[in-house]
């Protein structure tokens, strides 16, 4: 008895026949059927298999997503779709809390996981070769609308090719994708800096961009209609854009119009088509301009020049001299910057497709006539550079003091607090408005409180003193939500303030800035005309047109759209100068002398001048 303390088995049941009902523990069945999945796992070529048995993942196929959480691979490896990375199941939680995973989430935007939607593919799914493509994504995602390619002879021509494609197809909102680790000339910040000096609103994101700044940049790109975003291949995943340019890398977006810039000897895919028409002369000009823009970007980003520029700016604003010593001669870099910026600025007055001779002096005179001012050699700031301090006047160049302004002369220099700005702020805070400016800075002593600075901007104050009278911004663009003043990203600017005033009053307004003629209609619609569109006119005719354009804008007090005025002035010049043939019908049904008398009441000049303007080439 001492040998065993095991409880004796109680009356064991007798064996039953095969026809009796038997209750069996389910765990025993699972134990006996356990080897079955291993056998099916070895034979994956059979078409017929049990629905319960899961097929193993391979490099070329992937199991269909279900509503459950992402399944681990047979080897215990978890695949992160956001980072496109395999980690062990034990390190899954650590990976999802890591900085790399969070940066990938920020850059890719909202990612659809299998648990959220079992039938929708992930936005950042990569379209790769057939050997590594995901089966489910290939079935659901549509094929690219079109992929067109061009070849660049040298790496130095990459940025020029991008500029030519954007200019040729008039793309103001596009995604430019560069390799993760490519040529030194394809760094995102360098490409974006060059495009910025070529007239585009360009931003860049790359691996070293802080997460907060990256998120702000992506949100700005998604909400804007005229921003070119330069990003690496990895960060471009999940970004939606109707147009994209891939530079020396493979397109990864499954839809939209795509352009690919290839190296000289690189072979395009079989379903790609060449860009047609493609002007090689235009590419040469674009590459030359891109090289100048790159030089300007490098010179303007040098610490020494930037520091000196801002010290001088702050000293001038405070009424002090930055240096007691006599002003020294500009440095070699500053002189080079001014020369290259002026050369690029003047060459950009000609279209890329222009094949005639380049008259730099003539183009400079044309730009001066329309108000496109060449950069200041003192600051080295070009037309398309960052907006610093606006200089605004009324179109008739009236003195500010004549209408209650507190500045000397006709030009108001930048935002400032005065009695008018405080009145605007008080009215804005007291009533509801669709205008949403930046409440900061909110210093009461400097600005009068929140919203004091935007209420002190030139266009806002001058509109208060002379409501709806035409204004002219001499050295910058009118600030807006799309093209904001410094530190005003995400907020309304002066343009939105004028829209609010026009809608509430039922009146229109005209503003000339450094790049465009802007018309705000009574319903708030904004119509723009680029000043470069008038540079094709001969210089004498352009000067005559601009003089009459200003006069007629003042006569109608900016209530007639600039496009209509320019068209009418051109037509009047034709009617006054056209030589009537004996066999040709009379213009307006009037003889030449009567017609010219009528034209003389409407526009300046004489019959002889109108005739010369028509025949001048």
With a CB cutoff of 8 Å and minimum separation 6, the contacts of 450 are 429, 439, 440, 442
Q: Which two tokens stand for residue 55?
A: 């097929």
Q: Count CB-CB contacts under 10 A for residue 63.
A: 13
The predicted structure's pLDDT at residue 442: 83
Contacts with 607 (C-beta within 8 Å, 6 or more apart), sequence order:
576, 577, 596
- Give the other-Cβ count within 10 Å of 80's Cβ: 16
Q: Contact 470/404 with Cβ under 8 angstroms?
A: no
502 by Cβ neighbours in 10 Å (0-12 / 13-18 / 19+) ranks as buried
**Distance, CA of 98 to CA of 207 (rounded, Å):** 15
The sign of the dihedral angle between the CA atoms of 288, 294, 295, 297 is: positive
Cβ-based neighbour number of residue 148 at 10 Å: 17
Nearest to 166 by CA among 135, 117, 199: 199
- Phi, psi for residue 176 in degrees, rounded to 5: -105, 120
Residue range(s) occupied by CATH 3.40.50.300 in the chain: 143-284
The pLDDT value recorded for residue 468 is 96
The strand pairing partners of 231, in sequence order, are 177, 205
Element (H, E) at 461: helix 458-465
What is the 3-state secondary structure of 540-589? HHHHHHHHHHHHHHHHCCCCCCHHHHHHHHHHHHHHHHCCCCCCCCCHHH
Residues paired with 412 in a beta bridge: 392
| Tens digits of residue pLDDT in 291-324 | 999 999 988 887 444 555 556 655 555 555 545 4
Residue ranges of the chain with pLDDT lower than 50? 1, 12-13, 15-74, 109-144, 303-305, 322, 324-326, 376-386
Q: How far apart are CA 389 and CA 486, in angstroms?
A: 9
HSE, side-chain direction, 13 A CA sphere, residue 418: 20
Q: Are 43 and 49 in contact (CB under 8 A)?
A: no
Three-state DSSP state, 92 = helix
Give pairs for 127-130: CB < 8 Å, separation 24+: 127/251, 127/252, 127/253, 127/254, 128/250, 128/252, 130/60
User: Is the separation of the CB atoms in 256 and 142 below 8 Å?
Assistant: no
Residue 164, number of CB atoms within 10 A of its CB: 28
What number of other Cβ atoms are within 10 A of residue 273's Cβ? 10
Triad 305, 308, 310: Cα angle to 5°: 105
194-223 burial by CB neighbour count: b if 16+ within 10 A, else e?
A: bbbbbbbbbbbbbeebeeeebbbbbebbee
**Number of alpha carbons in the 13 Å side-chain half-sphere of residue 611:** 7
DSSP string, 328-374: PPPPHHHHHHHHHHHHHHHHTTS-TT--S---HHHHHHHHHHHT-PP
Contact 289, 160 (CB under 8 A): yes
Q: What angle, 0 to 180 degrees and rounded to 10, lies between the N-to-C axes of helices 303-317 and 332-347?
A: 90
- At 197 the pLDDT is 92
The CATH code for residues 143-284 is 3.40.50.300
**Cα-Cα-Cα-Cα dihedral sign, residues 532, 537, 540, 543:** negative
* CB atoms near residue 324 (< 10 Å): 5
**Exposed, middle or buried, 367 (CB in 10 Å: 0-12/13-18/19+)?**
buried
The model's pLDDT over 65-119, given as tens digits with 9 standing for 90+, comes to: 444 444 444 456 677 777 777 767 767 777 777 767 766 665 554 433 333 333 3
CA distances from 411 to 102, 340, 473, 479 (A): 49, 29, 9, 17
The residues facing 394 across adjacent strands are 471
CA distances (Å), 6 to each of 1, 2, 10, 11, 540, in order? 10, 10, 12, 15, 119
């Amino acid at each position: 008895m001492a040998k065993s303390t095991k409880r004796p088995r109680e009356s064991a049941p007798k064996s039953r026949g095969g026809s009796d009902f038997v209750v069996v523990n389910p765990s025993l069945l699972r134990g006996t059927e356990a080897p079955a999945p291993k056998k099916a796992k070895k034979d994956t070529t059979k078409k017929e298999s049990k629905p319960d048995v899961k097929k193993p993942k391979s490099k070329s196929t992937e199991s269909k997503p279900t509503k459950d959480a992402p399944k681990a691979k047979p080897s215990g490896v978890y695949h992160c779709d956001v980072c496109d990375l395999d980690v062990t199941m034990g390190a899954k939680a650590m990976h999802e809390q890591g900085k790399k995973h969070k940066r990938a989430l920020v850059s890719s935007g909202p990612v659809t996981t299998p648990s959220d939607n079992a039938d929708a593919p992930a936005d950042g799914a990569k379209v790769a070769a057939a050997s590594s493509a995901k089966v489910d994504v290939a079935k659901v995602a549509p094929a690219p609308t079109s992929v067109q390619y061009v070849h660049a002879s040298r790496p130095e021509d990459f940025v020029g090719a991008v500029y030519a494609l954007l200019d040729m197809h008039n793309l103001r909102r596009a995604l430019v994708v560069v390799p993760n680790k490519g040529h030194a000339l394809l760094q995102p910040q360098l490409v974006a800096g060059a495009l910025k000096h070529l007239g585009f609103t360009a931003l860049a994101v790359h691996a070293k961009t802080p997460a907060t700044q990256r998120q702000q940049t992506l949100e700005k790109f998604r909400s804007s209609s005229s921003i070119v975003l330069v990003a690496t291949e990895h960060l471009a995943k999940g970004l939606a854009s109707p147009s994209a340019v891939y530079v020396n890398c493979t397109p990864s977006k499954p839809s939209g119009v795509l352009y690919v810039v290839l190296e000289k000897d690189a072979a395009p895919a079989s379903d790609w088509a060449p860009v047609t028409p493609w002007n090689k002369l235009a590419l040469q000009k674009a590459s030359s301009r891109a090289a100048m823009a790159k030089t300007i970007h490098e010179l303007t980003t040098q610490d020494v020049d930037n520091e000196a520029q801002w010290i001088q700016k702050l000293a001038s604003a405070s009424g002090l001299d930055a240096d007691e010593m006599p002003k020294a001669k500009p440095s070699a870099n500053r002189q080079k910057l001014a020369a290259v910026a002026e050369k690029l600025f003047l060459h950009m007055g000609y279209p890329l497709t222009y094949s005639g001779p380049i008259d730099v002096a003539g183009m400079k005179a044309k730009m001066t006539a329309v108000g496109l001012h060449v950069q200041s050699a003192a600051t080295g700031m070009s037309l398309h550079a960052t907006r610093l301090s606006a200089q605004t006047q009324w179109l008739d160049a009236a003195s500010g003091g004549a209408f209650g302004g507190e500045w000397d002369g006709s030009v108001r220099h930048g935002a400032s607090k005065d009695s008018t700005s405080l009145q605007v702020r008080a009215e804005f805070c007291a009533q509801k408005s669709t205008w949403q400016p930046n409440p900061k800075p909110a210093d009461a002593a400097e600005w009068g409180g929140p919203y004091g600075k935007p209420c002190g901007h030139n266009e806002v104050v001058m509109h208060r003193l002379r409501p709806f009278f035409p204004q002219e911004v001499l050295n910058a663009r009118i600030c807006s939500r799309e093209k904001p003043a410094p530190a005003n990203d995400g907020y309304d600017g002066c343009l939105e303030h004028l829209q609010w005033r026009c809608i509430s009053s039922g009146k229109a307004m005209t503003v000339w800035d450094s790049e465009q003629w802007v018309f705000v209609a009574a319903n708030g619609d904004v119509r723009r005309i680029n000043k470069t569109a008038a540079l094709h006119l001969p210089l004498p005719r352009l000067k005559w047109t601009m003089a009459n354009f200003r006069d007629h804008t003042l006569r109608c007090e900016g209530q007639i759209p600039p496009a209509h005025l320019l068209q009418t002035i051109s037509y009047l010049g034709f009617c006054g100068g056209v030589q009537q043939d004996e066999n040709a019908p009379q213009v307006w049904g009037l003889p030449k002398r009567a017609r010219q008398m009528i034209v003389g009441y409407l526009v300046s000049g004489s019959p002889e001048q109108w005739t010369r303007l028509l025949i001048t080439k």
